[in-house]
A and B are shown apart, each in its own frame.
Chain A
Amino acid sequence: MTTDDMNHPQKEKPIALELHQVGKVFRSDTGAKVKALEDVDLLVHQGEFVTLVGATGCGKTTLLNLIAGLDAIDEGTLRLGDGLRFGDNIAHVFQHYTLFPWRTAVSNVSFGLQMRGVPRAQRHLRAAALLEKVGLKGFESAYPHELSGGMRQRAAIAQALAIEPKLLLMDEPFGAVDDSTRTELQQMLTDLWQENQTTVIFVTHNIDEAIVLGSRVLVFSERPGSIACEFKIDLPRPRNRIAKEFTDLFIHIRKSLSGQLD
């Protein structure tokens, strides 16, 4: 087992993302204001793997959309690190509708390159290489509806990686696949992250998943959403789900999550 040396990036790594007192207000159909996020402070360094865990509807996705530039911030400030730009090197992987159904796998993966004007032959070559990397060799010309749920998420990750992102935002990407597929995908994602050193912000409601993947776990509170507490995960990778340190952490996070429910 290797020690997780990515766990101490704060000392030397530059900042990838900084949020200061960020708030977001939605207006409901009846006109009432609903605070989705309040006073969110977050500092993410380059190369970190941050997982956000919280109940469904607590504002995790809203926060991710703010970071992705898909929604406007109402309060506070958001600062992206040097060289990070929306629509350029920030990739987003969703839970559903992650691929364009009218494009084959290889053409989906090369979408970002096509938008950047990379010639067809070249982008297909790169897309095919990425598909091989995520374990989809031989499925280049398959349409999304011909792939299984797990395979679609693999292709979606390849699609995101194709634009060589410096920041990878993932919104419950493994939420709709079965447990064993989920474990495989988590392993693949960990391997890719260790290889590329991309900054990852990963949203999940699954505590186990948050601990397995993250170098830091942020626990989200509900209504209005804000970061309740945070845990640094120093466990070596690949992480052993039944090791005592792991289960202790799990119980700890579980308690801090259910504490909000009282």
Chain B
Amino acid sequence: MPKDAQENRPLRRLSQWLGYPRIGDSHRIGAARTGSPLGWMVVPVILLVIWQVAAQWLNQPWIFPPVTRVLDQLAHPLREHYASGSLLSNTFISLLRVLLGFLLAAGAGIALGIAMGSIRILRTGLEPIVEVLRPLCPIAWLPFAIAVFKRGTLPHLFGLGYTRTVFDQVQLGMVFVIFVGGFFPILTNTLDGVTGVRRNYLLLAHALGARRRQVFWHVYLPASMPMILTGLRQGLGLCWFVIIAAEMLPGAESGIGYLLIYASDNAAMDIVIAAMLIVGGIGALLSLLMRKVMSGLVRWHGKEI
């Protein structure tokens, strides 16, 4: 078949535009990667079309809303829903809680991980406790957290009472549960990182005249940095996981998880799905962000010699 005739077939042109390799290219390694950047959209678009057609055919939007209604919700993130705020405001509240809990978890997890990794007594003493508490779902801590922190919020902690700001929505109980969610992956990864530092690097540092403190800053910390960052990535992912569940439980009165369950109680399935897409999208974004930070900070990772 002449080459021109092949190029003109509409389906082939479409597939080329979308970045799929030509049949004749399939033997070339990596051919599929050199196409149009829009290629990844094909499958989602097809699924959305099927969804739209199916939803219109079923015509029960309180169970299965059409794509257009979900997209309409996403296009109006500031729209107030009943008394529970908007998609954007609730997302912001959830992110604020997660950020605070995650930062506390990162600080405590890294510090304790390094301490346990370098002080033997601390490790033997705490390891059994860590091993028992680690497999526990963070949500299981919620009743305890609510009992301890009552309805206390971040401004309460500083003796400010009700401040009429978004910080009134940052309940300490929630922050504690997020803290627990992020703490264990950060702790265990840091511990693995510190205890996994090659003895040779320590010997080398000692031979070159490093003192104890210097070994800590110039060997232990950089050598365990890839594991610490892995812990932070896993921890942040888990924090975001936990907050949605925590906000869906009785007692919550704001947050994207709360909006999700509230909309569901009101049969507003379009808001439920919009909230789900936002949660998933932010989770993916956080993971991507952590990956970028990681590859920028530890260029050498996986290339030890």
Contacts and interface: CB of A to CB of B under 8 A. Distances in A.
Given A70-B203, A115-B214, A101 B304 contact: yes
B303 to A, nearest CB: 4
A163 B209 contact: yes
A87 B298 CA distance: 28
Contacts of B201: 97, 100
Contact of B210 (A68, A94, A115, A152): A115
Interface in B193-237: 198, 200-201, 203-211, 214, 218-219, 222-223, 225
A101 B222 CA distance: 9
A102 B298 contact: yes
Interface string A83-104: 0000110111010111111110
Interface in A51-104: 68, 70, 87-88, 90-92, 94, 96-103
B299 interface: yes
B160 interface: no
Contacts, number: 73
B158 interface: no
Given A92-B203, A96-B200, A87 B209 contact: yes
B225 A102 contact: yes
A221 interface: no
Contact of A101 (B203, B209, B300): B300
A204 interface: no
Interface in B215-262: 218-219, 222-223, 225
A115 B210 CA distance: 5
A100 B300 CA distance: 10
B209 A112 contact: yes
Interface string B292-305: 00000011100111
B305 A111 contact: no
Leading 9 A-B pairs by shortest Cβ distance = A145-B303, A97-B200, A112-B208, A92-B207, A102-B222, A101-B300, A115-B209, A115-B210, A87-B209
21 contacts: A70-B203, A87-B206, A87-B207, A90-B207, A91-B208, A92-B203, A94-B200, A97-B200, A97-B305, A99-B305, A100-B204, A101-B300, A101-B304, A111-B205, A111-B208, A115-B208, A115-B209, A116-B209, A143-B300, A145-B300, A160-B208
